[in-house]
Amino acid sequence: MKLEWLNKNLSCSDARELRRLVDGEHPELSISRQCELLGLPRSTLYYRPVPVREATLRIMARLDALYLEDHCSGSRRMVDYLANEGIPIGRDRVRRLLRRMGLRAMYQKPRTTVPGQPSERFPCLVDLKQITEVDQIWATDITYIPLQKGFLYLVAIMDLHSRHVLSWRLTGSLDTEFCLVALEMALSAGRKPQIFYSDQGCQYTHLRRLRG
């Protein structure tokens, strides 16, 4: 690993990608020095995800079932539902679990503030009425699939003209890598879209940086 090569890759902000750049067998640069050059804390280098506890998975599964029955309920009502079933839990924890599962109450909220401009926001170039051919616009999104003991995340890439699913991937953790793999799978067939459409989620903003 050359110092110049390290410096060229400093723009990669995804922790998983940065960890891959660290070479434990490098003859000249220590691990501490490589982490310093990459801007990667050593604690992040050695971090390993902690498995979700069985009790937490049961609560998440119950929250998912309750949400399917009443998608207008927020964290306060979910706490009441669980309490009625003999599951004592605080509202803050319910809120964190719902956020982790990507669930939120569906109701009209007052628009009291206008969000500021993020550092990376791209204009929407998609007009469904103007789509006339394949590979004109590809679209992608992420959803989750509840299982008996946990959840899987699904990303899919679709051609909006033919409605053909070009690629898809499943993962147990919501990160940038599986989105990137799905995109590389779609591109591997030799096809390329004029526009690649996604939302402003962090996985896709990271993906844009990684792809350049």
DSSP labels for 52-112?
Answer: PPHHHHHHHHHHHHHHHH-TT--HHHHHHHHHHTT----HHHHHHHHHHHT----S-----
pLDDT reported for residue 150: 62
Residue 136: pLDDT over 80: yes
pLDDT, residue 165, reads 93
Q: In which region does residue 162 sit, left (phi positive, over 0), alpha (psi from -120 to 50) or beta (all else)?
A: alpha
CATH number among 3.30.420.10, 2.30.30.110, 3.40.50.2300, 3.40.50.150, domain 128-211: 3.30.420.10
Report the chain's mean pLDDT, rounded to a whole number: 77
Quote the pLDDT of residue 119. 53
Report yes or no on whether pTM surpasses 0.75: no
SS3 136: coil
Residue whose pair of structure tokens reads 């004109």 in the numeric block: 136
* Alpha-carbon torsion (60, 62, 68, 73), positive or negative: negative
68 or 123: which carries more pLDDT confidence? Answer: 68
Strand stretches in the chain, DSSP E: 137-147, 150-159, 164-171, 195-197
pLDDT in tens, 78-95: 999 999 999 999 999 999
Check whether 152 has a pLDDT greater than 70. Answer: yes
Which one has a higher pLDDT value, 45 or 99? 99
